[in-house]
Chain A
Amino acid sequence: MKAIEVENLTKIYKSRSRRNDIMALSNLSLSVQKGQIFGLLGPNGAGKTTFIKILLGITHPTLGTGSMLGETIKNYKNKSRVGYLPENHKYPHYLNAEQILKYFARLGGYKSNDLTGRIDHLLKIVNMEKWKKVKIKKYSKGMMQRLGLALSMVNEPEIIFLDEPTDGVDPIGRKEIRDILLNLKSEGKTIFVNSHLLSEVELISDKVAILNKGKLIREGSVEELTTTKQVYQIEIEETPKNTELFNNTNYSLIESNGNKYTFKFDSSESLNTLIDEIRAKKLNLLSVIPKKHSLEEMFINLINDNEKQNL
């Protein structure tokens, strides 16, 4: 079942002269399955925040439609099923964590009688139980982020939107947040993460979409996106005496490092041809590993390619 689905979503920020209109999103169509951790990536100004704002009803699309949990995004009452951790969020400094959580729980329509128990539970999850009665003005940035995470969960939402969730959090805190998100996933929650920290996204996301200049340029699982098609690393026990076997019209050597050779193949048959050649030469084949990029490498390459195409 789809938790989020948008079709042909377009957002134009209009200015006085049409020439200066900004196309923040252009015909964006994508979907997020229930129970997934979905990562939305893109450079600054790609349209990520606009996309979240549209889904949450903070701004309206110029064109296109969207739905969350089977309800149109125009239905504001549906937001009781959604949690949100905004980027650089601020709360009234004269309140403490408990007061903030209580206020937003009630505003969000949380109906359980045991709100205090729920708040204690959430503060424990984000490791903030000792700060329950301390005024927010004394919180560090990392603590604010933890409180924001607790707030996004206070109504027991089915979808949680997280905008830069690990921003300002130390490495141990990041690990804790990752664990919280994975735990939420195991409870069947859908998590939508918007982050610049690609390594974080790579570690937890089931599916990733990449936006550039308001357009969706790539979508898929982390595995699919990081695996480079037709590029394999082949490890041979001994260095071949001549490298003639590496010269073939169906494949080419990209990189060599000791006994490890990276090839790019035209097709999977070409890979088999090379393996046959190696065996024919009586060389001992140790491993054949499909070559993977990190999400960050893939992202940078993809954005650069996209920029070149747009030139």
Chain B
Amino acid sequence: MKTKYLYLIMAGLLTLTSCMDDWDKPNTDDYSVTSRTAIGEPTTTIDSLKREYSSTFKQNNSFVKIEEDIILEGVILANDKGGNLYQTLVLGQVMNDTTIGTFIDPCTCIQLAIKNTCLYPYFKIGQMVRVNLNGLYIGCYSKMPKIGQPYFTSSGNLRLGPMLMELCKTNIQLIGKPADYKDMVRPLLLTASDEFFTKASSYQNYSNVPAFVTIEGGVFADADDKAILAPYELHDAGYGVDRVLKVGNTEMTVRTSTQNDVSFLVMPKKPVRLTGILSYYDGWQLQLRSVDDMEVME
């Protein structure tokens, strides 16, 4: 009789001990790391901002805090999906031309740096974003126009770095869907004969960079069909490797961060078609966005 009770009690207890760690997939359709309410209408453009703060943008590594509601819009032309751009988005300005129509100017751009190692799920290519600069800083990292916040680098230098991810909730709003502009994300095609190379010095200024470009016909100086773009052992203080790309008579740099998929791309002997973000330091410098940004030309 008592054994029967034991059976019954055990059966009861076994029923009680159901799994407590069982979860259904939550609905995240409306999830966003950015503001869910309107942050205001645009008050400026990338182009206007650069002109208004030209004195800041003309200096290396200078920055200034914005302490009023300055709101700009831009479409994301590049993000960190390929791992080569670190904590970085590149925003391009939407233009309206009476003959061409609406397009994104690949040469009227600015970097938006955000402190997070994986931005691309939240900030997809083609997504228009609206940024309220109030409380943020604008200036240059080296000679690259940028929006962010100051920080100390691993070399101990004070630079304009990424803004806190937490500030996206108050300072950034997504406008529409990525599909709205994705087809307009087109790079500027450059070849050796283009004035960007033949008259480089006149183009190397804050107003033209960053630029979203495709460079055709370049040849890697160190190419042997074996060497990769960025072996870890060659990295500099910024954990990047510079490779010389010859475009006609012009030598420029392809800069690649180590330890990502792009860094393992083999440099082909044949001419290449490279797409990426153009900036300058001593000369032109290109950063590929992803492994798809290198094509071997036949």
B is a partner of A: no
Chain A residues with a Cβ under 8 A of chain B = none
